[in-house]
Chains A and B, each alone.
Chain A
Amino acid sequence: MSTTTVKPIKPWAASPKDRAMTGLSFFLSLAVTALIVETTPMKGKLAYFFLFFLSWFIIDSLFVIGKSGTKGVRDALAAKVTLLGATIVSLAVFSILWATVSRGIKGLNFNFLTENMRNASLFDPIGKGGILHAILGTLMLIAIAVFFSVPMGILTALYLTEIKGKAAPLIQFLVQAMSGVPSVVAGLFIYAAIILNTPLRSSAFLGGLALTILMVPTVTRTAQEVLNLVPRDLREAGLAMGATQWKTVALVVVPAARSGLITATILGIARIAGETAPLLFTVGVFDSYNFNPFKGDQGTIPTVVWRGLIGGTPESVQRAWTSIMVLLTVVLIMFITARAFGTKAMKKK
């Protein structure tokens, strides 16, 4: 008796003929689009974009209808329409990134990162003055916000995941509600509560407090997610060894979730680094270094961008683009670091 090996077949996979058809319809629609744009009054990138998708929908449908009927056509159309949606969204993102880099790079020079604006105004030619004071100011604000919001956020997350007290649903709801507080309201609140009631005037400290309000929900929600990923067995093992809950949390749960908690912090920082509205109420604007967080206005990157945008001259706008590029670079680096930490945390499990 001879044995036959069964060769696995994939009847659903695209045959070379199908692939040829797909490619053909793609290039045919490109050609049709070019033809329409050249011969009719519809011109420009917009026309190219939409006419291409339209002709692709039609031509591909004609190809598919012979093989799979109207159901197949609808299926193929759905795939293309979702692709269209995703393409538009990606185009928007790349437009933003491209605009920032291509416009920002023109104003970047050594002075820009190493000097302040004490002897220069926004309207001076590029090359004079820089935003080091604003970079330091933003870092100071971030440090203050981290100091307050990370303990607050992580302890709230611990309450929601470890203690699970009676108030947990309420707290959960409030944290979600807090994540929707408009940034301008956070600024107004600090102004109303502190500047109008106490002798304290605008300073980095008050700005940090306003940013804390915006940062806490992000930290809490991310921290909660990572703490929930810590296996129950670890907690039970800790308790079974006779450790108290405090010891279990401090020596087992938190170390297990450490990289995730760092991710939570970084995501929180990325959330607040570019906030502008609250700073206008609480930090003010300043053109030089101010190393006292409790007294005096402070220069920050978002307010430099803001003033550059309002200023409206080519030089001030150029400064705005370059400053936002610096800020965005920092946010991007933090974001990628957070991702790296996050995936490491996932993989360990």
Chain B
Amino acid sequence: MSIDAPAKAIPQPRKITTKPRVSDQIFRAIVTAFSFSALVILSLIAIFLLMKGFNTLKQQGIGFITNFEWSVVVDDGGVETAHFGLQAMLIGTVVISFIALFIAVPLSVLTALFLTFYAPERVKRILVTVVDLMAAFPSILYGLWGFFVLMPMAEYWAKLIHKWLGWIYIFDLPDPIYTRSPFIAGIVLSVMIIPIITSVSREVFAQTPLDRVQAAYALGATKWGMIRAVVLPFGAGGVVGGSMLGLGRAFGETVAVFSVLNIVFRTNFQILFTQGGNVASMIIQKWGEAGPSEVSALMAAGLVLFILTLFVNFLANSVVTRTVKSGR
């Protein structure tokens, strides 16, 4: 047998390179470009709100945050004197958000513990869906429910609180008007942020290292003993982070709060009284009849709100990320 096929040229070895091919380069460029959309959008928001609100900020200076008067007066000569101060609204926002946290955090932590450690599998599945569903309810629904369903009940609760705890300053009130108070707005907000805090807490609780859980049981701990000694110390950071995410949401809530709160430009710590403030709702309230200078002031208010929520969210996310990583 003879080999008489023509000798083939030995193929040159292919050049080995780590350089991606053209198609990959295009792919990567496009994906990378799109991934920066978040950066672009966030910066654009800051830039445009600053641009449009700059006049007010320059004119009012630090008073924009520390004054509590909000008025535009046009005198006979057509000269406009404007006072824009957010103090009452900022304090009001913080007050109702903390009422919301005060109610929502215990309930959420209890629900998360129940879901992670106590609930039978079937109840757990249903309840998880219910809590997730809560997060998908439109905020205007919370407003409607808060005004028509919750308010009559909450008015009664407020009267009870006033009756028994009225000697404490914050539960006292100058006139017996209990509707549309920061207390009620706080309850509505608490219902809105419960799903966020619950799901973050649940996630963190579920990541408790199993060896520590088993170790606690092996030492003879009851379930509650195990939770107190292992789960709560481990999950504390996550609960704090989740609560701050909830706080960020509460700061920015607009429509639901507007529906149930009587917005008054006066600093008010008596939470059962029908007088409160919220930056986001104030923007909606003033928007309708705002002239050019007031629109600028509302833009500046939006900027303040934007920075506030970004800051709270930033803190919250760093806390949650650190906690979740520490378990691995």
Where the two chains meet, the residues of A that have a C-beta atom closer than 8 Å to any C-beta of B are 46, 71-72, 74-75, 77-79, 81-86, 88-90, 92-93, 95-96, 99-100, 103, 151-152, 155-156, 158-160, 162-163, 165, 167, 170-171, 173-186, 188-189, 192-193, 196, 213, 216-217, 220, 244-247, 249, 267, 270-271, 273-277, 280-281, 302, 305-306, 309, 317, 320-321, 324, 327-328, 331-332, 335, 339
Contact = CB atoms under 8 A, between A and B. Distances in A.
B35 interface: yes
A317 to B, nearest CB: 7
B130 A93 contact: yes
Contacts of B248: 180
A58 to B, nearest CB: 17
Interface in B22-40: 23-24, 26-28, 30-32, 34-39
B313 A184 contact: no
B186 to A, nearest CB: 14
B284 interface: yes
A190 to B, nearest CB: 9
24 contacts: A74-B224, A78-B223, A82-B111, A86-B110, A89-B111, A89-B131, A96-B149, A155-B35, A159-B34, A165-B32, A178-B42, A181-B252, A182-B305, A184-B252, A184-B280, A184-B283, A186-B45, A188-B298, A188-B299, A189-B302, A213-B41, A245-B20, A275-B139, A324-B144
B191 interface: yes
B137 A99 contact: no
B9 to A, nearest CB: 23
Contacts of B107: 85, 88-89
Interface string B198-224: 100000000000000000000000111
Given A192-B52, A305-B144, A83 B114 contact: yes
Contacts of B127: 86, 90
A218 to B, nearest CB: 10
Main secondary structure of the interface of A (DSSP, over half): helix
Contacts of A247: 23
Given A85-B107, A93-B134, A180-B249, 16 more contacts: A74-B222, A79-B118, A89-B111, A93-B131, A95-B149, A152-B34, A171-B35, A177-B42, A181-B45, A213-B45, A216-B41, A275-B138, A281-B287, A317-B148, A320-B144, A327-B138
B276 interface: no
B324 to A, nearest CB: 13
Interface in B119-147: 119, 127, 129-134, 136-145, 147
Contact of B44 (A158, A189, A276): A189
A261 to B, nearest CB: 15
B133 A71 contact: no
Interface residues of B, number: 91
B94 interface: no
A277 B114 contact: no
A89 B194 contact: yes
B106 interface: yes
Interface in B85-119: 106-111, 113-115, 117-119
A189 B136 contact: no
A346 B303 CA distance: 41
B222 A75 contact: yes
Nearest to B282: A184
A321 B144 contact: yes
A245 B27 contact: yes
Given A159-B35, A185-B302, A335-B136, A173 B309 contact: no
Given A185-B305, A244-B24, A99 B35 contact: no
Interface stretch (B57-65, B164-172, B253-261, B263-271): B253-261
Most A-side CB within 10 Å, residue of B34, B118, B251, B298: B34
Nearest to B312: A180
Contacts of B32: 159, 163, 165, 167
A72 B127 CA distance: 27
A273 B143 CA distance: 16
Q: Which 5 A-B pairs have the closest CB atoms?
A: A274-B138, A85-B110, A182-B252, A159-B35, A180-B313
Given A82-B118, A192-B52, A320-B144, A181 B309 contact: yes
Most B-side CB within 10 Å, residue of A93, A155, A158, A180: A180
B176 interface: no
B38 A156 contact: yes
B66 to A, nearest CB: 22
A244 B252 CA distance: 44
A83 B113 CA distance: 9
A182 B31 contact: no
Given A181-B252, A185-B302, A171 B36 contact: yes
Contacts of A188: 49, 283, 298-299, 302
B21 interface: yes
Contacts of A46: 156-157
A151 B31 CA distance: 10
